[in-house]
A and B are shown apart, each in its own frame.
Chain A
């Protein structure tokens, strides 16, 4: 079955500390992978996406993610977290053959301590 797992429901980090949010997927076809961020009461904003090529992708707001096929993972990282990064983060997977449909993980809520 196709699925996306974000093992951490809630993470708290100190401002200025590094961040890694985990994402594992199970997908039969060649996956396209995405990370989205959602501020309270808002829609989801695309942070970055991976289709092919370089497995380390850069996104907006200083985020990056690394695709590791052997581990079926696409973890999101940021070297130094800012208080404004507090939000919910969603990993998603899709492919060309699914009519554009994405499968989302359950999300990871990030809190940032001053």
Chain B
């Protein structure tokens, strides 16, 4: 149990489907992040939320839509995805703005396959 829970662990979806990834943290952190990890590629930061407000969007295509209803929950809504979107999607949280809280706690990720 890492304190950050991602569901589902695995997801297979067609290009016309709509699905959502969920991330939940019970660490009292104030910042949450979505990363994409493709095979043989570096981690790609997608979105950053601080105190429920989106503070960064790294030119992510609109077929990925994040939602942060509160500081403990983060969603990634998916629609009309492409096969190249298949990857491991990682959620992380941190206590931004504090020295000891710096650094992420990661979830185990959602392995997404787009067919």
Contacts and interface: CB of A to CB of B under 8 A. Distances in A.
Contact of A44 (B31, B98, B102, B106): B106
Interface stretch (A14-22, A67-75, A102-110): A102-110
A99 interface: yes
Nearest to A42: B108
Interface in A48-74: 49, 51-52
A32 B102 contact: yes
Interface string B34-59: 00000001110100101000011000
Interface residues of B, number: 33
B74 interface: no
Interface of A: 32, 34, 36, 41-46, 49, 51-52, 90, 92, 94-96, 99-102, 104-107
Interface of B: 2, 4, 6, 31, 33, 41-43, 45, 48, 50, 55-56, 88, 90, 92, 94-109, 111
Given A44-B90, A100-B50, A104-B42, 15 more contacts: A41-B88, A41-B109, A43-B2, A43-B92, A90-B43, A92-B104, A94-B102, A100-B31, A100-B96, A100-B97, A101-B33, A101-B48, A104-B43, A105-B42, A107-B42
